[in-house]
Structure 1
Amino acid sequence: MKGNLFLCFLYSSCLFCLPCFSQSENFSGNSDAMFSEAIERIVKLHSMKANIRMNVFIDDDEFTAQGKCLEKALVAAPNDIIRSKFRLDLTFPLSSNAGSADVVNKMIVLCNSEQNRVWHYTSIENTTTQNWINIESVVNAVKRSKKQHHIRSVGGMPGLGGMAGMLRGIKNGYDFTDPPEDSLLKGKTPLKIWKLKGRLGDRELKRLLDLLAWKEDRNTPYPSHLPVEVEIYLGKDDLFPYRIHYYNLPKKESKQRTPVMQLVFCDVLLNDSTEIPDYLFSTFGEKGGDTGSDITAQYIRSLGL
């Protein structure tokens, strides 16, 4: 049960060597311009490898998932939404499994531009599902329907567009008006960073509240999993987003906030000389990606097309 809750949160949340960033380069204290530059640098990467830790807070429960994130860029892509090969592997224990140490809960998301597919694999409490969606078919269905606003739903699928896609989604949904803060991430290897703070824009806030069927009321707080604020920690030298923290506020004007989700990337290798094997972007472990179920038609119907 808790495993399904964890996955539902991940799927529904508004929620993945370059020239060094010269500290004399002037962004005029503009967080939005700095964030745009960070995205452009991610887009130009040839490859990215990182370990990832994800903390998700749901009511009084905290779930911690750990795994690896791989990405490989393509010179050309078949459509304008996905331009890379992306793989996210996560494993996470659940408190309900305290007496079942042998149970491994796992989620894998693959995105392959060359094959125009996104695969999802989950193994939760010994129940395994595996399916895939043809992105080109979905995009064409949206274009035929002329309901272009559904492109947002397509672009919000986990793994689609890789790291750059996730960052673009954040940038489009949040307003970054505060100047970047000069800070330091502590740890075994302290890292000098810029901390950017953003808040959901009015249009995006309304869209999400409508999606959650929230009725505006002075005395009714926002849903507890709504990520009203975000903090992004960019490395000063490479502008890589080493941490992304989401927070909830009872109301937009509130000062009291609670964590919703935290993403931490470590052991990051950008443009590493070791080639990432292609099979990792279309294979779940020993199983081929094609052995899953094609849910493209169901997904298109879910968009109301």
Structure 2
Amino acid sequence: MPKNRILATIAIVASVLPWAWAQSGTPGPAVATAPAASPTPPGESAEAEKVLDAAIAKVSALRAVSANILQSVTMLGQRFEVKGRYLKAPKNRVYLLLEVFGLPDARGKMLQVCDGETLWDYQQVFETKIYHKFQKVDQILDKLKSPELDAAVRDQVITQLGLAGPEVLLVGLRKAIKFDQRDAGTLDGRPVDIIRGTWLRPEGLAGPNLTPQQQLAPLPSFVPSLVTVYLGHEDGWPYKVVLVGRQPSILMEDTRPIGPDGRRLGSIKLIQKPLVTRMELIYSDVTLNPSLKDTDFAFQAPTGVLVEDGTEAVLDNLEKAIQSKIAQKKAEGAGAEGAGAEPLLNQAIDVPKAKSEPSGAEPH
């Protein structure tokens, strides 16, 4: 159905724009290393990861950024684009706009704006419009800085609230991709470091109850498992990220029927072409540390629409997580036995979602 398609589209965007993971609600699974087809020299792998680590540090240190976003996607026979705009300024000011283009029976828009005090989250799928806000952003961030809060919970909430930036894209790639190649090059006349790698196989990605042989098999072509990142040589900015599926061999993907003699029937031309996914993310008109105005981060929901405020729910859930961790540490310090102490469950913090509005003015 069209609505299912647009929801899947938003999920695709989130896969390459990790700071938009606010719609997913749960942390990603742990990853386990899949064996490489051929070993990579340790020095080359370490060099690629060193370049990426340096880029993460540089991008995280930026006080302000403005950039246009273009994501081109070819997946499961569909082609579409996601266009948008990203702004970041001091005092937790963030602006992120994403719009889907190219799907004739589906359209969608996501806008997250934070002026440092209130975070607005607007989503549109067809005529359904959703408004959500979080106030007391400074208090939420103070709780997120608590040393008693698990790092995984902290990262999840920051990402869900839309307060993270492209540095999270790089951190996510660092965790999920084994980068083992590094080259120097240029992109639009700019010196860049080009690093390449392969997606580490996440647990459960290919389904449960797999045999050891199935676990070692290559990921299907619709999974974008080959990654290339173009990082600014001086500034570390991820100007371009490309994820593609691995092109299978004819023998692996022979879809022709098998005859009574055990041989494939028909010409090789009858073999169905595999659906190879390709995602390309490009940042253009990137300005580092620009002068941005307060009006760039201003937003107000139209009069009369339903707006759900999730502020107190987030603050309350964070406080409960902190207190649970404190209680656990006290029990461990007192030498409590495992059977007598309640372990802290590794659960995601629930960031409440807004109810939908069938109509209303559309923000820009």
TM bracket, shorter-chain basis: 0.5 to 0.7
Gaps of 5+ in 1: 17-26, 75-83, 99-103
1:4 deviates by: 2.0
Distance 1:146 1:53, change over 3 A: closer
Amino acid at match of 1:85: R
Distance 1:293 1:213, change over 3 A: farther
Aligned mates of 1:93, 1:177 — CA distance in 2? 34
Question: After superposition, what is the alpha-carbon deviation per residue over 1:137-177, rounded to whole angstroms, capped at 9, x for unaligned?
Answer: 69969x89976644453354373321222222222332323
Structure 1 residue corresponding to 2:98, chosen from 73, 80, 90: 90
Amino acid at match of 1:277: K
Structure 1 residue corresponding to 2:176, chosen from 161, 173, 178: 173
Aligned mates of 1:196, 1:6 — CA distance in 2? 27
Aligned mates of 1:156, 1:221 — CA distance in 2? 30
Amino acid at match of 2:238: P
Aligned mates of 1:224, 1:132 — CA distance in 2? 39
SS at match of 1:36: helix
Aligned mates of 1:249, 1:4 — CA distance in 2? 25
Report the equivalent of 1:66: 83
Aligned mates of 1:97, 1:66 — CA distance in 2? 17
Distance 1:229 1:73, change over 3 A: farther
Distance 1:172 1:95, change over 3 A: closer
Aligned mates of 1:140, 1:257 — CA distance in 2? 45
Residues 100, 108 of structure 2: 8 Å contact kept: yes
Report the equivalent of 2:111: 108
Aligned mates of 2:198, 2:294 — CA distance in 1? 38
1:292 aligns with 2:307: yes
Aligned mates of 2:247, 2:154 — CA distance in 1? 29
SS at match of 2:235: coil
Greater share of residues in strand: 1
CA RMSD, Structure 1 to Structure 2 (Å): 4.3
Q: How many residues align?
A: 263
Distance 1:156 1:247, change over 3 A: farther
Report the equivalent of 2:288: 270
Residues 226, 248 of structure 1: 8 Å contact kept: yes
Report the equivalent of 2:210: 216
Distance 1:149 1:40, change over 3 A: closer
1:267 deviates by: 1.1
Report the equivalent of 1:23: none
| CA radius of gyration, larger in | 2
Residues 66, 86 of structure 2: 8 Å contact kept: yes
Amino acid at match of 1:183: G
Q: Percent identity?
A: 20
Alignment of 1:89-168 (within 5 A): 89-97=97-105, 105-111=108-114, 114-115=116-117, 118-132=119-133, 149-157=152-160, 159-168=162-171
Residues 69, 83 of structure 2: 8 Å contact kept: yes
Report the equivalent of 1:195: 194
Distance 1:200 1:139, change over 3 A: farther
Structure 2 residue corresponding to 1:235, chosen from 227, 232, 240: 232
Aligned mates of 2:14, 2:141 — CA distance in 1? 17
Aligned mates of 1:131, 1:298 — CA distance in 2? 13
Residues 196, 232 of structure 1: 8 Å contact kept: yes
Amino acid at match of 1:87: Y
Q: What TM-score results when the alignment is normalised by the length of structure 1? A: 0.67
Distance 1:119 1:11, change over 3 A: farther
Structure 2 residue corresponding to 1:247, chosen from 244, 249, 257: 244
Residues 139, 154 of structure 1: 8 Å contact kept: no
Comparing 57-66 with 144-153, which one deviates more in the overlay? 144-153
SS at match of 1:167: helix
Distance 1:222 1:150, change over 3 A: farther
Structure 1 residue corresponding to 2:47, chosen from 6, 14, 30: 30
Distance 1:261 1:119, change over 3 A: farther
Comparing 275-284 with 218-227, which one deviates more in the overlay? 218-227
SS at match of 1:95: coil
1:40 aligns with 2:62: no
Distance 1:157 1:232, change over 3 A: farther
Residues 186, 192 of structure 2: 8 Å contact kept: yes
